[in-house]
């Protein structure tokens, strides 16, 4: 049982126009086995929250805390965060030319575990995971994210989830750019990992569509750098019908 705890988190970035505060007091607690949806309009700071949890150097934590089972995440390097059990699926994953999916996954697994996985069971696990996501085995020999379609990028992330077995995963707009079939396959993958490993999930999304396939235990409405309302799955339904307008009292969030 793991707990990711975010307390009164304030985060800013440097822009050409000076320092800009983006997160303005975020509070969240995510336990193993729970799925939390963060829903908010574009520009509200959802990706900033994801990057801050992952340790992206661009984002400065001005105050507040992030802990995983009591350990100070903000003191950890990006590698240490991964070894501690945190996983970030980025909204825009980067290409890694010259590194195949197969090598990338095995290297990541070795770095996380401190030793290389036994070859035979590793190949079996990799094939099993790719099959479950309806991916051709030749995919393992392609370079990471190079020329991947939106759906392939997202499937690759679920393969990572399945093989790397993090404790808490942050999935940033995993639904974006997926057609319904791919969305179903990716969602099934997330649900399978949740069931098998007790993964805790922070599911960041603009649209409610993915929540039809991955049922959240908690929904947090995120506007202007903070959580403005919390509830259960019914809150997502309301957002689907009413949008975010009621939360945007004259602000310029677009």
55 binds ligand ADP (CB under 6 A): no
Q: Using CB atoms within 10 A of its CB, is residue 7 exposed (0-12), middle (13-18) or buried (19+)?
A: middle
45 binds ligand ADP (CB under 6 A): yes
Q: Using CB atoms within 10 A of its CB, is residue 239 exposed (0-12), middle (13-18) or buried (19+)?
A: buried
Is residue 50 a contact partner of residue 6, using CB atoms and an 8 Å limit?
no
> Quick check: helix, strand or coil at residue 241?
helix
Using the contact rule CB under 6 A, the part of the chain among 42-50, 72-80, 143-151, 187-195 near ligand ADP is 42-50
Task: Name the β-bridge partners of 166.
Answer: none
Dihedral sign from CA coordinates of 99, 101, 106, 112: positive
Q: Which of 2, 12, 47, 145 binds ligand ADP (CB under 6 A)?
A: 47
Using the contact rule CB under 6 A, the part of the chain among 46-54, 114-122, 146-154, 208-216 near ligand ADP is 46-54
Site for Mg ion in 12-51 (CB under 5 A): 25, 46-47
Smallest separation, CB 27 to ligand ADP (Å): 17
Query: Which of 32/208 has CB closer to ligand ADP?
Result: 208
Residue 3 binds: one of ligand ADP, Mg ion, none (C-beta under 5 to 8 A by kind): none
13 binds ligand ADP (CB under 6 A): yes
Residue 25 binds: one of Mg ion, ligand ADP, none (C-beta under 5 to 8 A by kind): Mg ion
CA 67, chain centre distance (Å)? 17
Pairing of strands 3-15, 18-31: antiparallel
CA 238, CA 194: separation in Å to the nearest integer? 25
CA 252, chain centre distance (Å)? 26
Smallest separation, CB 51 to ligand ADP (Å): 7
Query: Which of 99/227 has CB closer to Mg ion?
Result: 227
Residue 166 binds: one of ligand ADP, Mg ion, none (C-beta under 5 to 8 A by kind): none
* Chain residues in the site for ligand ADP (CB under 6 A): 13, 15, 22, 40, 42-48, 58
């Amino acid at each position: 049982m793991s707990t990711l705890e975010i307390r009164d988190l304030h985060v800013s970035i440097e822009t050409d126009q000076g320092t800009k505060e983006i997160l303005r007091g975020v509070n969240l607690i995510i336990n193993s086995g729970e799925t939390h949806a963060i829903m908010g309009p574009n520009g509200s700071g959802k990706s900033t929250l994801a990057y801050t949890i992952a340790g992206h150097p661009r984002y400065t934590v001005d105050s507040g805390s992030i802990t995983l089972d009591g350990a100070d995440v903000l003191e950890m390097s990006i590698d240490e965060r991964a070894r501690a059990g945190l996983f970030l699926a980025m909204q825009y994953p980067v290409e890694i030319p010259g590194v195949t999916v197969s090598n990338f996954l095995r290297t990541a697994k070795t770095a996380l575990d401190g030793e290389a996985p036994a070859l035979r069971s590793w190949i079996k696990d990799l094939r099993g995971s790719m099959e479950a996501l309806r991916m051709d085995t030749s995919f393992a020999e392609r370079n990471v994210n190079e020329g991947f379609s939106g759906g392939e990028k997202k499937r690759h992330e679920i393969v990572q989830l399945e093989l790397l077995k993090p404790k808490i995963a942050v999935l940033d707009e995993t639904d974006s750019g997926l057609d319904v079939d791919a969305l179903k396959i990716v969602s099934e993958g997330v649900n399978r990992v949740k069931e098998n490993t007790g993964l805790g999930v922070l599911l960041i999304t603009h649209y409610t569509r993915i929540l039809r396939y991955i049922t959240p235990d908690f929904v947090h409405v995120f506007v202007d750098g903070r959580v403005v309302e919390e509830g259960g799955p019914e809150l997502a339904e309301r957002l689907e019908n009413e949008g975010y307008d009621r939360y945007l009292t004259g602000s310029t969030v677009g």
